[in-house]
Amino acid sequence: MAVPHKVVEIMDENRALVSTGGVELEVRTDLIEGLQVGDVVLVHAGFVIEKYNQDEGEELESLWEEVMQFASGR
């Protein structure tokens, strides 16, 4: 399963050291561009497959708004 990790060190153009729960792991970064130390990334089978965005995404936000409007109006 893919798990979020934080980038600790950029080792070279295709490798980085990442950490989760105090455990460090060397991963491949071939599938991602512009990775920086401190980025939170999704790691699957030893590869970074995506960088996390800060926000949840518009569609989840809009669903939450509707749910919360409903909840506050009950």
Partner 1 sequence: MPQVGDLRAKMSSLLEALNKWLCGPITVMEVCGTHTVSIFRSGIRTMLPKDVRLLSGPGCPVCVTDQAEVDAMVSLAKKPGVVLATYGDMVRVPGSCGSLAEARSCGAEVAVVGSAIQALALAESMQDKEVVFAGIGFETTAPATAVLLREARRKNVKNLSVLSLHKLVPPVLRLLASDPTLVIDGFLLPGHVSTIIGTAPYAFLAEEYGKACAVAGFEPLDIMAGIVEIARQICGGRPAVRCLYGRVVRHEGNVKAQELLGEVFRPASVRWRGIGVVEASGLVLADDYSDFDAYSRFGITLEEVNPPAGCRCGDVLAGRIAPLECPLFGGSCTPQFPVGPCMVSSEGSCSAYYKYSSKGVSPWGA
> Could you list the residues that contact partner 1 (CB under 8 A)?
1-2, 27-28, 30-33, 42, 44-47, 49-53, 55-60, 63-64, 66-68, 70-71, 74
Q: Tell me the closest approach of the beta carbon of residue 56 to partner 1, in angstroms.
A: 6
Q: Tell me the closest approach of the beta carbon of residue 1 to partner 1, in angstroms.
A: 5
Q: For residue 4, give the amino acid letter.
A: P
Half-sphere exposure of 3 (CA within 13 A, CB side): 12
Q: Tell me the closest approach of the beta carbon of residue 55 to partner 1, in angstroms.
A: 7
Read off the tokens for 31: 């599938």
* Spatial distance between the Cα atoms of 48 and 30, rounded to a whole number of angstroms: 8
